[in-house]
Structure 1
Amino acid sequence: MTDISTGPTSLSAGLRCRCPRCGQGGLYSGFLKIAEACEVCDLAFDFAEPADGPAFFVMTGVGIAVIAAWAVWVVAAQPPVWAQFVTVFPALLGGCLATLRPVKAWLVAEQYVRKAGEAQWLSTGAHGKAPASYKRKGW
């Protein structure tokens, strides 16, 4: 079993869609469904919860790249509208589908490396009550 310091980098594990600890086992059991655990090192993937982050980053990045390329193409070549529809929509869809898995895997690997978890509060607060060590100064 490898630990974080000897395992793959989060970027390399993410781009290959592999386990963030060993870099060998697959991360997914479906197209975007994260497996229960790594089949090589038995790391449980229950910590992995990237939520909507991967979709946001992918749609933003691919959208900017494709629309920028489209704008240059339209100004330079002035293609007909049908050619624009035939090329731009498949480019957007294909770009998003091609990059969503690696980006999600990279964010899962980052969660593992950074030991991400639920937020924990030191105090839930007691409204209207100051701590015993609190003293008002100058009033």
Structure 2
Amino acid sequence: MTSTAQAAPMEILDDDRPMRPAMLRGWRRRCPACGSGPMLQGYLKVRDHCPVCDEALHHHRADDGPAYLTIVVVGKLLTPLIFWVFTAFRPEPLVMAVAFSIAAVALSLYLLPRLKGMLVAIQWSRRMHGFGPSAD
């Protein structure tokens, strides 16, 4: 009986911050709370507070997570593509190296801020690292 009484408040807390909308807002690099304020200041710097709803965002601990996720996603997308292009078309090695290097850099630069926004939004949604009720 005590375990259900203790679990109920956490379920209530989880319902008011659904993860999917927060992740979509983070992907768009918007505040996970209101969805309209910009989360990032510059390319990767997370703002201390949302300029629209004043939600504190300085608690995040994304650290190296976005970089690791970017490497994994870019590798998973480009590896089969490189194999397919090589076996189907047999391009010159230098042409293939240049083309896929440019593709890897462009895809990485596109994904990195979006994945960082998603990780910060997940932390906000799950009330991790100071985003909880005891946050300032």
Q: What TM-score, normalized to structure 1?
A: 0.77
**How far apart are 1:6 and its partner, in Å?**
8.0
The answer to whether the 8 A contact 1:8-1:23 is kept is no
2: CA distance, partners of 1:4 / 1:21: 10
Question: What secondary structure is seen at the aligned counterpart in 2 of 1:112?
Answer: helix
Which residue pairs with 2:61 in the alignment?
49
Matched, 1:107 2:112: no
The answer to whether the 8 A contact 1:49-1:108 is kept is yes
- 1:84-99 alignment runs, 5 A limit: 84-99=96-111
What is the CA RMSD across the aligned residues, in angstroms? 2.0
Q: Over residues 60-85 of structure 1, what are the superposed CA-to-partner deviations in whole Å (9 max), with x where a residue is unaligned?
A: 11112112101110011100012112
2: CA distance, partners of 1:93 / 1:73: 18
1: CA distance, partners of 2:65 / 2:17: 26
**How far apart are 1:5 and its partner, in Å?**
4.4
Identity, % of aligned positions:
30
Q: Over residues 49-69 of structure 1, what are the superposed CA-to-partner deviations in whole Å (9 max), with x where a residue is unaligned?
A: 111111101111111211210
Which residue pairs with 2:11 in the alignment?
none
1: CA distance, partners of 2:104 / 2:20: 31
Which residue pairs with 2:46 in the alignment?
34
Which runs of 5 or more residues in structure 1 are unaligned? 119-139
Matched, 1:80 2:98: no
2: CA distance, partners of 1:35 / 1:54: 16
Which runs of 5 or more residues in structure 2 are unaligned? 1-14, 131-136
Matched, 1:71 2:83: yes
The answer to whether the 8 A contact 1:7-1:21 is kept is no
2: CA distance, partners of 1:6 / 1:93: 33
Which residue pairs with 2:21 in the alignment?
9
**How far apart are 1:4 and its partner, in Å?**
3.7
Which residue pairs with 2:33 in the alignment?
21
Structure in which a larger fraction of residues adopt helix: 2
Higher relative contact order (Cα pairs below 8 Å, separated by 6+ residues): 2
Question: What secondary structure is seen at the aligned counterpart in 1 of 2:46?
Answer: coil
